[in-house]
Every structure is written in structure tokens, then in C-alpha cells.
Amino acid sequence: MENKRNELSEKLLYAPKNGYDRLSAEEEKAMNAYCEDYKRFLDRGKTERLCVDYCIELAEARGFRAYEKGMKLTAGDKVYVNNRGKGIMLAVIGTEDLSHGANIGAAHTDAPRLDLKPRPLYEDAELTYFKTHHYGGIRKYQWVTVPLELHGVVVLSSGESVDVHIGGEADDPQFIINDLLPHLGREQGKKPLNEAIPSESLNILIGSKPLAGEECSDRFKLGVLQLLNGKYGITEEDLISAELEAVPAGKARDVGFDRSFITSYGHDDRVCAYAELAGIFAAERPKKTAVCIFADKEEIGSEGVSGMQSQAFDKFMGDLCEMQGVSLSECFAHSFCVSADVTAAYDPNFADVYDKRNAAFVNYGVGLCKYTGAGGKSGASDASAEVVGKLRGLLNDNGVFWQMAELGKTDAGGGGTVAQYMAKRNIDTIDAGVPVLSMHAPYETVAKLDCYMTYKCMKTVFEKA
């Protein structure tokens, strides 16, 4: 009787297992090698622009060419389009034409950060600061007293573009936002977390040395400008036509005695973007054209010319379709998309905001999300049963560890991805990605096993969906 009950349980019950109980020694070795490559991607890709630059470097080394309209392409050819240096799309042409659709992975490489305001530079009490405007959803109290790097581009009055990268090298200066000392923080400590650090106090300390031999006003501000002008040719007015981003300093690091985690800035969503990239690199002669997208602006609604709501993706796919005499609408109608974005990992320290039965756990594999959104699924594309079943079957058939996930309890909050914008194009779409601890914090944490299984998921989709 007991054996029969066990057989029935195995046959009928859904019982997810920790990935390490199923992972072979050979796969663990491959997982660790993959994660070392991923850490290099994180260190090289501190901003969306730097992600694009490194992606092109890696892609060209693997035979991808910059796409030009009118290029003659055949099965197996590899091309990419650089969207204004802030987004990129790559494709491997399939053996079937695009009337059969494409297999698409759509991730984003922008991450929550502090942007400089258009007129950021000021001095007060003989200290010099940059004023910031936070980008995306952050918990402001987490960003004080964290060492920061500065990356971006400044367009000078001459029209020349100057790249600025300060804080990433061992001998570079870094930057900081001050916090109030606890001795004077009694009233601050009474405020809710979201109010204790106002947005307008997120001012980056950048100097205190005045312009030598001058008694003019703004001499501390001039001291900084003299340095910027000497190295980059920048004047204060040039900062108006600049995109400078302050991001947490430091490299991706292993976490834990067993090194089973990686902590870094920008896992959301570079952990899924890199899984897509590695997946399309590894895909062997796909039947359907495989497409990898690094989109920008997801953290602020996917707007703008480099966001997933722009027509840049439609233009690229339209060009490929036109080359094959296929309509874009027909291609989209037969396409399949994984919106590769992270999900919330269950954290027992904050258990009250999770529905434990429907939460993603670290080391259980890639998290599939039928819907995101908020409350009553507001802002979600809500994948159909057929779409969920298709991906579930693919992963089961190809040895990919996966789990189903929601982004916390129904009334606890919510979130969104690019899935809804792909679905609006009449593309069957589902979210899938890595569970993340401390999402949107300056340093987020992910499990190596989940990173690797997300890569295997994307490779499987590109090859076999």
C-alpha cells in the first residue's frame, strides 16, 4: 500500500526540487564557467551604453556583422543593429523563412541609478556637489554612503561627444552621498523609510578644493570645473547636453562560503540579458530566426527611441521580413517571445510579503511568470495556458530546471516588464528570468544555478521553440 501511495504521489503531485539535488558534476562545472563570464559582463557593463559596447565586442568576435538594409542574408548568417548606442538587437537567420515567425528573447540593460540633473553642479558651505534625479524605482535610503562611479557621455558645444568614466579603475577617485550621523538623527529616525532621505538630498559630494589663488564667487565649483575642463574639455554649459549616470562602484563578487551566489549592481536585468546573449551565441543553426534584444528605458516604462515601445524593433524585423518577401504582421503572429526579466526571490527575512506557494526560490531554476502587473493583474500581458504549456514542455524536454513564480502577494505591490509591449505586437509572450534578492538595491544577489538555468532556457528557446 505504501509503495502504491508513493507511486501515486510521484505521478500526480507537483513537488519542485532544489537544483543542487539534480545537478550533475559536469553541469556544475559548466555553470561555474558561465558565471565567471557573466561577472565579466557585469563589470564591463555598468550602464546600458557600456552593455551595448561590450555586446558588440563579443558578437563581432563570434561572426556577427552590423546589419545594413539590403544585405543578402541566408540561413546561419549573424547580424546586429546598434540602436543609438543604448540598445541592440541581434539575429541569427533561421533555416525557415520568417513567415514561420521568430524566436525572440527581450531583456533590458538599463538599471535603477542616479542621473545628473541638467544643471547639476553647485557649491554650498565650501563643498561641491552634483544634484541628481533618480532613475527608476529605488529605495533612496540605500544609496547614501555607497561608493559611486560616474559613467556617460557629454556632448560639447562643438558637437564632439566625450566619454566620461571615473571611479572604475583602482587609482580613480570615487564619489559619495552623505548621510546624517546617528547622534543628530533622532528626528530623521522617526520618519518612514521612504521619507527619511528626500530625493533632493541625494547630492553627490565631488570636491572641496577651491580654485587656486582666486577670491571670486563659486571658486570651489570652479576648482572642479577646471579639472573637468583640463581632462575632457567640459564647461558648465556642456553638462546640459550630457548623460552622466552615478552607479555603485565595485566589481561583481561571489557571496557565501560555498560561493553559490553573485552580488553586484545591475542584475536586474543584465542577468537575463547576458543569458539571452550567451544563448544566441550557443544556438546551433536554429530553424526559426533567433532574435536577442537589449532594450533601454524599461525601468521608466519602456518609453523613448531606445525603449521597447519604440519602432526600432519593428524596423529591424520589418527589414528582415522584406528581404524574404514576408509581411511583418505575419511574422509577429507566428513568433514566440520570452520576456527575459528577473523575478523576486523568496526571502524568509521578509516572508510576510510573499505567497510562499507561488514564490520563486533560489536554486530552483529559472522563474516563469504567467503575469506580472499589480493588484488585479493591471499592466500584465498574462500569457495563455498554451504559451505556458509550450515553454514548460520545452524546458522539461531539454533538462532545464524551472519554477513558477509571482512577484509577491497580490496586495503587496507588483511590477512590470516589456512583455506587454511584445504582446501588443501580436507576439505570444511569457516572462521568464532569474529570481533576485534585494532587487533594485545598489547591490543585488542571485544564485549561480538560477543564472545558468536561465541561459539554458534561452538557448533552448532559440534552438527549439
- Rounded to an integer, the average pLDDT of 295-300 is 97
Q: Does the pLDDT of residue 4 top 80, yes or no?
A: no
**Residue 418's closest CA among 308, 274, 277, 272?**
308
H/E element holding 429?
A: strand 428-433
pTM comes to: 0.96
- Rounded to an integer, the average pLDDT of 36-45 is 98
Q: Does the pLDDT of residue 319 top 90, yes or no?
A: yes
Residue pair 358/343 in contact by the 8 Å Cβ criterion: no
What value does the CA radius of gyration of the chain take, rounded to a whole number of Å?
24
Residue pair 463/286 in contact by the 8 Å Cβ criterion: yes
Whole-number pLDDT of residue 1: 65
Cα 107 to its chain centre, rounded Å, is: 7
Whole-number pLDDT of residue 307: 96
Question: Which residues on neighbouring strands pair with residue 367, listed in sequence order?
Answer: 403, 433
Q: Which of 3-7, 113-117, 121-125 bottoms out in mean pLDDT, i.e. has the lowest?
A: 3-7
Which backbone phi and psi does 109 adopt, to 5 degrees? -120, 0
Q: Does the pLDDT of residue 114 top 80, yes or no?
A: yes
Report the distance separating Cα 150 and Cα 148, nearest Å. 7
> Residue 440: how many CB atoms within 10 A of its CB?
18
Whole-number pLDDT of residue 95: 97
Question: Which residues on neighbouring strands pair with residue 175, listed in sequence order?
Answer: 148
Q: Does the pLDDT of residue 215 top 80, yes or no?
A: no
H/E element holding 60?
A: helix 48-61
**Residue 56's closest CA among 72, 79, 23?**
79
Whole-number pLDDT of residue 284: 85
Q: Which of 4-8, 24-28, 90-94, 268-272 bottoms out in mean pLDDT, i.e. has the lowest?
A: 4-8
- What distances in angstroms separate CA 197 from CA 121, 140, 201, one per listed residue? 20, 6, 7
Report the distance separating Cα 129 and Cα 120, nearest Å. 8
- Residue 357: band (very low, low, confident or very high) from pLDDT cuts 50, 70, 90: very high
Residue pair 39/452 in contact by the 8 Å Cβ criterion: no
C-alpha cell at 458: 534561452
pLDDT in tens, 429-461: 999 999 999 999 999 999 999 999 999 999 999
With left for phi above 0 and alpha for psi between -120 and 50, is residue 413 left, alpha or beta? Answer: left
**What DSSP string runs through 411-427?**
TT-EE--SHHHHHTTT-
Q: Does the pLDDT of residue 415 top 70, yes or no?
A: yes
Whole-number pLDDT of residue 3: 76
